[in-house]
Amino acid sequence: MDLNLVKAFVSVVEGQSFTEAGKALGLPKSSISRRVSELEDELGVRLLHRTTRKLTLTDAGRAYFEQVERALQGLDAAAEAASGLDREPRGVVRLTVPVELGVMSVSDVLAEFTYRYPEIHVELSLDSRPVNLVEEGFDIGIRTRSSLDAALVVRRLGSIDTGLFASPEYIERRGAPKSLEELAKHDCILLRAQQQRTVWRLEGLDGSISSVEVRGRISTDENLFVWQAVRSGLGIGILPLHAVSVCTAGGRIPPLVRVLPEYAVRGAELQVVVPSGSKRPHRVTLLRDFLVESLGRRCRAHGA
C-alpha cells in the first residue's frame, strides 16, 4: 500500500476539499484527485461521494478514514521518537461538553487523562447549546446529537441508552411497579412535559416499543434536576444507564434502583468532534483518542 495515496485521502477528508488537501501536501489539486482515485481502485470501494458543491464520505470511506488516520498519527509519533524529538506532551486543550455529560460522565475520564499526561491542561466548558467549535476556539467537542457540519471530523461512539430509576426510599414508600400499567399510577419526574403528564416510549427486550402515559407533580427542562429529584425520592425518572453505573460505582451518588429493567429508552448518539484540518497538536489528538476509547467503551458496556 502506497502511503502517499493514504495521506492524500486523509488530507482531503480533513480539509474537506481536494484544493485544501493540495495546499497541505504541496501538490496540485489534480494530483490529489488522482491519488484518491488510485486508492479507491486499489481497495475496490468508493471512499468519497463527489459533487460540484461538496465531498462526503461513504460508509466505507468513514470506516477507512477512522482507521488510517490513527495509523498515520502512530507513524508520526514513532518517527518523532526515533529521531529523538519526542517530549512530554504539554499545553492547553479546550473541550466543550453538554452540562449533564460533563457533570455525570466525563470528570473521572478527565481525571485519568490528566494523571497520565500531567503537563496537559484541559480547559472544560459545560454548555448544552450547539457550540461552534471553530468560531469559539474549541479543540474538541462532545455531542449528543448527530452533526452534519462539514467543518468537523466526527467519531461516533454509540447511543446513550437510558432506563427507569428510583431511590430506595421511594421504592420502600410506594413499591416498585411490576408492569407498565402500574408505572402509570406512580409519581414520575417529567422532562419538558406539559399539563403534568407526558408519554414515555419504552423499548422492550424483544425490540418492541410500548407507550405509557405517565404523570408527575414535578416537571423540568434540565436533565440534571431529574437526577436530583430521583435521588430525593420524588419519583421515577429516566436516567442514562452508563452514567448511573459510573456515579454509583464511584460513590458519587447513593445506589439507585432500576425499575422495570426489561424496558429502556434508546438515547441520542454520542459523538466526539474536532475541527477538520491537516495539522492538529499532539495534545489534542491524545485527548480526542482517549475520550473516544473511554466513552466508546462505556457505550458498549452499558447498552440497554
- Tell me the pLDDT tens digit for each residue of 129-164: 778 888 888 999 998 776 556 677 888 887 778 899
Please indicate whether residue 255 or residue 279 has the higher confidence score (pLDDT): 255
Task: Specify the amino acid at residue 166.
Answer: A
Contact 109, 295 (CB under 8 A): yes
Q: What's the average model confidence in pLDDT over 191-214? A: 86
Give the Å distances, CA to CA, from 265 to 186, 207, 243, 304.
Answer: 18, 11, 14, 8
Residue 145, exposed/middle/buried by CB under 10 A (0-12, 13-18, 19+)?
exposed
Domains recognised in the chain with CATH numbers:
3-82 (1.10.10.10), 91-157+268-301 (3.40.190.10), 162-259 (3.40.190.290)
DSSP state at residue 268: P
- 40-45 long-range Cβ contacts below 8 angstroms, 24+ apart: 42/1, 42/5
Please indicate whether residue 185 or residue 248 has the higher confidence score (pLDDT): 185
Helix (H, G, I), strand (E, B) or coil at 215: strand
DSSP state at residue 144: S
Instruction: Report pLDDT for 269.
Output: 80
Q: Is the pTM of this model over 0.75?
A: no
Q: What's the average model confidence in pLDDT over 208-215? A: 92
Give the Å distances, CA to CA, from 107 to 100, 244, 271.
Answer: 11, 14, 17
Query: CA-based diameter of the chain, in Å?
Result: 73
